[in-house]
Amino acid sequence: MAIPLVHSIASWFLKKRIHQMELFMKYPSEVQEELRTKLIEKAKDTEIGRAYDFKSIKSYREFADRIPVTSYEENQEYIERSRKGETNIMWPTPIKWFAQSSGTTNARSKYIPVSPESLENCHYAASKDLLCMYLNNNEGSQLFSGKGLRLGGSKQLYQDNGTVYGDLSAILIDNMPFWAEFSSTPTNGVSLLSDWETKMQAIVDETIQQDVTSLSGVPSWMLVLLNNVLETTGASNLLEVWPNLEVYFHGGVSFDPYMEQYQKLIPSNSFKYYEIYNASEGFFAIQGQNDSKELLLMLDYGIFYEFIPMTTYGTPGQNVIPLTEVEVGVNYAIVITTNAGLWRYKIGDTVRFTSTSPYRIKVTGRTKHHINVFGEELIIENAEEALKRATSETGAEIKDYTAAPIFMDGKEKGAHEWIIEFKNPPDDIALFNHKLDLALQEVNSDYQAKRFNNTTLNAPTIHSARENLFYDWLRENNKLGGQHKVPRLSNKRDFVEALLELA
């Protein structure tokens, strides 16, 4: 397909879709209410629909009162039956695909249903919208003059009773429309290699021969790939390899700890970074503006949103609210109802709204990935900001990190124990520790109160990890790949102890 034709098709779709997005931003409550009604109507004759009498649900209040908020464990029996070939349980359309998603410290896998509707109207629709927003904001873009380098997980697709499960990225690649493969690199054969380390070098060997104009993937794993590109080519930066490189679409983990390293790899003031927020359960939000860390919540992807203020999360009287009742600046856990049959499902992520007109968010962490053993309420957003300040003041660069509590022992007060793998270590680790402690107190008043005069918490302990410690742990636990992430914060010591043993 000729490049001018690609641009023409993209321009037509862009204008049409931008108009649609303007409508859902103007009438968000109507869009979400109509969506909820359609989901209920579609699933009224499923097993779940009959159990909760979907046919008689006429309002949000009835929806919320009748259908319980659930976790994966409470849906597991339904999902396992679906995986064995039963139909019309949670969703009327037969579900062939299940995205395998294991917890970062839990070996037991989750299998998230991926319906034909969620593939087409959520995941693929989001990819098109991402391009629309980027092109709308950058009229001189030459994105389609080259190819997009995509870095997903490993293949590991398995068939079981007529259904297929594996990494979401492999499912998306296997079902990808022709136009997406035409504009992407590496080829599907390389993208779906199961051995991660073999795959990485194969990607390097294939893509250095291409005119790459964009990158997409998880920042931590993409960084490994890009450093391999420089090592293989002998180039001093990526623009020597791909002179037309113009944007990196990233998601999966916070980008803040990696920004300085990327700026060194791609020394260009015009290069763009676009963040996305997606998961096995769906595609939720997209950065809609250049040079912005706010993500536009996408309201017409077949996902109905509800939120739980973290101040009440997990309590008997937890307050679940619809999108129309959220407030700016409050930390919320997300609850979703989807066009793949997940009903009022807790995905485990937390967000904070930065705007309600339109609805824009920042991802703040995970409901299970925080430290609150001593009432300090330390979330990933706090940790990332504090680390950013500490590295800026000491000249250090961080590759990976994790933190966990040191529990009180008799009269000995508690503390936080950090394991940090530096790409560029600080000259004085004690000074870095002090700067990190001060920064944490500045960004988190609860932590500051516990640290005041060592009331409850002593100063943190920091271990400077050996090179590739986190990578070796991921490899030993069969977690190499673009969709696996290092757990950042935990109320337990399991991961920290495993790393210390491996060190």
The structure tokens 């600080």 sit at 426
CA 211 from chain center: how many Å? 27
Bridge pairing between strands 321-322 and 359-366: unpaired
What residues pair up with 335 in beta bridges, in sequence order? 306, 346
- Report CA Rg, the chain: 23
Token pair listed for 20: 């649609």
Region of poorest pLDDT, from 7-11, 127-131, 334-338, 381-385 = 7-11
Q: Examine the pLDDT at 83 and tell me if it is beyond 90.
A: yes
SS3 state at 55:
helix
Q: Please, which pLDDT band fits residue 416 given cuts at 50, 70 and 90? A: very high
Q: Which has the higher per-residue pLDDT, 159 or 231?
A: 231
Q: Examine the pLDDT at 319 and tell me if it is beyond 80.
A: yes
SS3 state at 153:
coil
Q: Please, which pLDDT band fits residue 372 given cuts at 50, 70 and 90? A: confident
The structure tokens 């977690």 sit at 479
Tell me the fold of 380-502. GMP Synthetase; Chain A, domain 3 (3.30.300)
Compute the average pLDDT of residues 151-168: 79
What are φ and ψ of residue 351, in 5° steps? -135, 160
Q: Please, which pLDDT band fits residue 482 given cuts at 50, 70 and 90? A: low
List, as one string, the DSSP characters of 92-148.
SS---EEEEEE-SS--SEEEEEE-HHHIIIIIIHHHHHHHHHHHHH-TT--GGGSEE
Burial zone of 358 (CB within 10 Å; 0-12 exposed, 13-18 middle, 19+ buried): middle
Q: Examine the pLDDT at 362 and tell me if it is beyond 60.
A: yes
Query: What is the C-alpha separation between 152 and 302, in angstroms, rounded?
Result: 24
Query: What is the C-alpha separation between 417 and 421, in angstroms, rounded?
Result: 13
The structure tokens 């990485």 sit at 200
Token pair listed for 343: 């009903």
Q: Examine the pLDDT at 23 and tell me if it is beyond 80.
A: no
Starting at the earlier edge strand, list the strands of the sheet with 163-166.
109-114, 97-102, 163-166, 158-160
Q: Which has the higher per-residue pLDDT, 91 or 3?
A: 91
Segment (H or E) for 283: strand 282-287
Token pair listed for 58: 């006429």
Q: Please, which pLDDT band fits residue 381 given cuts at 50, 70 and 90? A: confident
Q: Examine the pLDDT at 177 and tell me if it is beyond 80.
A: no
Query: What is the C-alpha separation between 310 and 318, in angstroms, rounded?
Result: 9
CB 114 within 8 A of CB 171: yes
Bridge pairing between strands 247-250 and 461-464: unpaired
List, as one string, the DSSP characters of 200-264.
HHHHHHHHTTS-EEEEEE-HHHHHHHHHHHHHHH--SSGGGT-TT--EEEE-SS-SGGGHHHHHH
> What pLDDT is recorded for position 2?
43
Q: Examine the pLDDT at 106 and tell me if it is beyond 60.
A: no
Segment (H or E) for 9: helix 3-26
Query: Which one, of 356, 348, 338, 328, lies nearest residue 300 by Cα?
Result: 338
Q: Examine the pLDDT at 52 and tell me if it is beyond 70.
A: yes
> What pLDDT is recorded for position 128?
87
Q: Please, which pLDDT band fits residue 53 given cuts at 50, 70 and 90? A: very high
Q: What is the DSSP letter of 388?
A: H
Tens of pLDDT along 185-208? 998 888 878 787 888 899 999 999
Compute the average pLDDT of residues 442-461: 89
Q: Examine the pLDDT at 153 and tell me if it is beyond 70.
A: no
Looking at the chain, the number of H-run helices and the number of E-run strands are 18, 19
Which among 126-130, 160-164, 219-223, 475-479 has the top mean pLDDT?
126-130
Query: What is the C-alpha separation between 369 and 404, in angstroms, rounded?
Result: 10
Tens of pLDDT along 258-270? 888 899 999 999 9
- Domain residue ranges in the chain: 380-502
Q: Examine the pLDDT at 243 and tell me if it is beyond 90.
A: yes
